[in-house]
Amino acid sequence: MSEYYQGNFFERFIDSFRPYDYSILSDILNPTTSAGSGVTSSNGDDEVQQTRYRKPEEHPYHPQFDYSSLTELERAAIVTSTAPLTRSLKARHLSMISVSSSIGLGLWVGSGAALSAAGPLGLLIVWFVVSSIIYVTMSSLAELASTFPVSGSFITYNTLFVDSSYSCCMAWCYVLQWLITEPLELVAASITINYWNPSVNPAVFVAIFYVVIVIVNLFGVKGYGEVESLFSIIKLAAIVGFLILSVVLVAGGGPNHEFIGGSNWHKDKGGLFNENSPFKNMCSTIFTAAFSYAGVELYGLASAETRNPLKSIQKSKKNLVYYVLVFYILIVLMVGLLVSYKNPELIGSGSSAAAAGVDVNVSPFVIAIRKAKIPVLPSIMNAVIIITCLSIANSSVYGSLRALCAIGALKMGPSILSFIDRNGRPMVALLIQFVIGLLAFLVAMPNRNTAVDVFQWMLSISGLGALLTFFSICLCHIRFRSALSSRARDPKDELVYCASLYGSWYGLIMIPIIMGLQFWASLYPASNGGKADLINFFKNYLCLPVVLAFYVVHKIYAWKWLNIPFSKLYLTNDEINVDAGRRDIDLEVIKQEMAEERLAISERNFLYRIYKFFC
């Protein structure tokens, strides 16, 4: 890399934006090229020639694998596995990303409207069901990501294990979800600041936050990792603090000494479920619960950029279980105890900002603290919500960039999307995200509700998009295991981490069921007397026609230009390549290292063993 950084600071800065040198992958990109092809480097150096053009049996990524037999899509998948994205993330970065990326407005603000619709016990049931799906899905992703730590993660898995057209529609759905999340989060953060000074135009703060996000991501993945680690600590501290405060308030330890207990679960103050169509109202909150977990899959995307993906992924998955799932369930429980679902503040004044989930005044956390008449704390909670918005905006940039890179590499969009500079930054994808981020300045419109309405429609793909992402991960895991089984290969003999196949089947079955229930509740909402409401339906299911459109267009493209039969819906077990895209590892060495680590832990004191068990 030293050859890239000659000259003064300005020259090195300009040079860093030049394309990465892909010649080291030329025997993958051009399988007919060999060491004896007669191609030499510009200086005639034979050593350079041998480094860049190896025979397949001498290939460094998997020495015994015949790369010349790969299809174009399989070859692209391997290129994504060896993509020059900077691998500077550490285990602590990945752990924090897995925890922080899902703690956003869906929890802090969106849970208020969900509580109003479902009631406290109904909300708890919905969140528990969705949490169980998230757990098995992330276990499946941990296995896939530790085996195939490719850039693009599950987007690439869809291509390798399911079908390229299916992969295309899922990839673009995922990208659109994250592209629009950044400007929405910036708008939410700017509106939140109006809590202190309503006279200032929110566009001023949008500009400040926008510049911060741009600068952080220009520093590459390391800048993202460090900033996200800091945000994660703040958000986790806020969650722990709120849980402690909740116990105190429920027990009557607040300034007003009002004992709450389970009074909000009684009919005179509220109840366990919404009195009006309780089951349908529960079903209407499914996408809100799914949206609150959107982002947990980012550790799969980040795995390709860690120094030790195998160790980092397993630790991140463990942290995800304890921090996210347990915290979410406890928080939903405490919110239901503190605030009655009949509290009119939960649905706001009917403004578009409240409906879009960007109005902090409808946050059950803020309502509970305000009701307890605790000074200063409402301002602290609003500050935490602002940090949360910036964190999710930062994560959305990261997620969209990696997904766009995978789309470009897998020929599902313009190839220029996969452009990566010499500093390992996907600059074209970064530019696209920054341009889309400018939509946040719509908040400067005279009628702010109109701008929020626009975002609400654009964000309508998020809830369903998150569930489709989780569905795809479970499906890919099942298809990968099926292909292994058809070759009489035992996953325990070649995988460092093995997830339960029953868990993936549970996710694969449950996700369509809850999507169907949300479909019914969206088309015939209880709030409309059970009558059809197309506007409400498309605000929840706009993602569906978008996904179908991408699928059909890519099917036609694959039929016309890739000679893939239009009737071919999926790859058979024989067509699935279970070795393409794997990072070359010595399984015995890894297992020996893990055994030594377990032995070292067992020799430590009791408190340390407890710490390692949970962390």
pLDDT of residue 374: 82
Look-up of token digits 């992958």: 25
pTM over 0.85: no
pLDDT at 449: 65
Provide the pLDDT for residue 91.
59
41 shares its domain with 146? no
Select from 179, 583, 579, 171 the least CA-distant residue to 411: 171
- Torsion of Cα atoms, 73 then 101 then 192 then 205, to 10°: -60
Q: Kindly report, residue by residue over 105-145, the tens digit of the pLDDT.
A: 777 777 888 888 888 999 999 999 998 998 889 888 888 88
In a shared domain, residues 579 and 605? no
Same domain, 313 and 177: yes
Whether residues 589 and 579 share a domain: the answer is no
pLDDT band at 345, cuts 50/70/90?
A: confident
Q: Are residues 278 and 409 in the same domain?
A: yes
Q: Which position has the higher pLDDT, 360 or 35?
A: 360
**Residues 404 and 539 reside in one and the same domain:** yes
Do residues 305 and 432 share a domain? yes
- The pLDDT score that the predictor gives to residue 151 is 61
Mean pLDDT to the nearest integer, 368-387: 84
**Domain presence at residue 78:** yes
pLDDT at 508 over 80: yes
Q: How far is residue 220's CA from residue 564's CA, in Å, rounded to a whole number?
A: 38
**pLDDT at res. 57:** 39
SS3 per-residue string spanning 177-245: HHHHHHHHHHHHHHHHHCCCCCCCCHHHHHHHHHHHHHHHHHCHHHHHHHHHHHHHHHHHHHHHHHHHH
User: What's the pLDDT at 199?
Assistant: 79
Closest CA to 430 of 458, 413, 405, 461: 405
The 10s digit of each residue's pLDDT in 197-244 is: 777 888 888 899 999 888 888 876 666 777 777 888 888 888 888 889
What are the residues facing 89 on neighbouring strands? 306
User: Same structural domain for residues 429 and 415?
Assistant: yes
Asked if 28 and 155 sit in the same domain, the reply is no
pLDDT the model gives residue 609: 75
- Residue 61, domain member (yes or no): no
Q: Could you report the per-residue pLDDT of 183-197, keeping only the tens digit for each?
A: 888 888 888 887 777
pLDDT at 474 over 80: yes
Q: What's the pLDDT band for 513 if we cut at 50, 70, 90?
A: very high
For residues 280-288, average pLDDT: 89
- CB count, 10 Å around CB of 334? 21
> How many domains does the chain divide into?
3
Joined together, the tokens standing for residue 137 give: 């899905």
The mean of the pLDDT values for the chain is 75
Asked whether residue 611 is domain-assigned, the answer is yes
Q: What is the pLDDT of residues 544-560, one digit of tens each?
A: 888 999 999 999 988 88
Judged against a pLDDT cut of 90, whether residue 445 lies above it is answered with no
Residue 615 pLDDT > 80, yes or no? no
- Same-domain pairing of 215 and 336: yes
CA distance linking residue 584 with residue 576, whole number of Å: 19
Banded model confidence at residue 65, pLDDT cuts 50, 70, 90: very low
Q: Is residue 603 part of a domain?
A: yes
pLDDT recorded at residue 503? 92
Does one domain contain both 318 and 352?
yes
Model confidence at 99: pLDDT above 70: no
Token look-up 């990208």 returns: 175
Count of other CB atoms within 10 angstroms of residue 520: 13
Domain with 610, as residue range(s), is 585-615
Domain presence at residue 362: yes
The torsion angles phi and psi of 19, rounded to 5 degrees, stand at -60, 150
Helix (H, G, I), strand (E, B) or coil at 421: strand
Percent of the chain with pLDDT over 70: 70
Helix (H, G, I), strand (E, B) or coil at 89: strand
- Mean pLDDT is lowest, of 20-24, 384-388, 503-507, for 20-24
pLDDT score of 55 more than 70 = no
pLDDT at 52 (0 to 100): 32
Residue 75 in this model has a pLDDT that exceeds 70: no
335 in the same domain as 374: yes
Residue 256: pLDDT band (50, 70, 90) is confident
Which has the higher per-residue pLDDT, 503 or 33? 503
Domain-embedded: residue 595: yes
Q: What is the pLDDT of residues 393-433, one digit of tens each?
A: 888 888 888 788 878 877 788 888 878 777 777 888 889 98
CA 169 remoteness from chain centre:
17
Q: Is residue 63 part of a domain?
A: no
Q: Is a pLDDT exceeding 60 seen at residue 304?
A: no
**Residue pair 170/155 in contact by the 8 Å Cβ criterion:** yes
The answer to the question of residue 361 being in a domain is yes
Q: What is the pLDDT of residues 578-594, one digit of tens each?
A: 887 666 666 666 667 76
Going from the C-alpha of 486 to that of each of 181, 364, 489, 490, 564, the distances in angstroms are 41, 51, 8, 10, 23
The CATH number for 531's domain is: 1.20.1740.10
Q: What is the pLDDT of residue 452?
A: 65
